[in-house]
Amino acid sequence: MRNCSLEFLREILGGKRKYFLLHEIASVRVPVCPELTVDRILHRVKDHKEIMRYLPDLPDKGKKYIERDFLFTIVNTLDRKFFKEALAEIEANRAKKSDELETGLVEIEPSLFELIKSC
């Protein structure tokens, strides 16, 4: 984590927050997509006490800032299936929407249809 507050370091050293040793970390590369933003992942894990013990306290109001790579690495280290399942779900939803678009019928005004047929 490049931007680590003194308060977060105090909490780690005081035992309030947990940490991983470098060899314990399971890094993950997650594509940037609207379904997997920092805010959305924080919302999904906010009630997961174990994950939250590795993250700094975030303000209740105002901008919640936490580095994407840091958050995603913590989540992936504790739950190796989280992003695999999330990406599979996103892909399935996108495929379903794509299929719906491909099989959808388009209604054409009769005069325009005649014009198209004549070409």
pLDDT in tens, 9-54: 999 999 999 999 999 999 999 999 999 999 999 999 989 999 999 9
Residue 103, domain member (yes or no): yes
Residue 18, domain member (yes or no): yes
Instruction: Look up the domain containing 48 and give its range.
Output: 6-118
Residue 22, domain member (yes or no): yes
Residue 39, domain member (yes or no): yes
pLDDT at 1: 55
Please say whether the beta carbons of 74 and 51 come within 8 A.
Answer: yes
% of the chain surpassing 90 pLDDT: 60
Residue 72, domain member (yes or no): yes
Please say whether the beta carbons of 17 and 50 come within 8 A.
Answer: no
* Mean pLDDT score, 84-90: 94
Residue 1, domain member (yes or no): no
Dist CA 13 CA 9 (whole Å):
6
Number of domains present in the structure of the chain: 1
Buried b / exposed e over 32-50, threshold 16 CB at 10 Å, is eeeebebeebbeebeeeee
pLDDT at 102: 64
Residue 19, domain member (yes or no): yes
Mean pLDDT over all residues of the chain? Answer: 87
* Mean pLDDT score, 92-99: 83
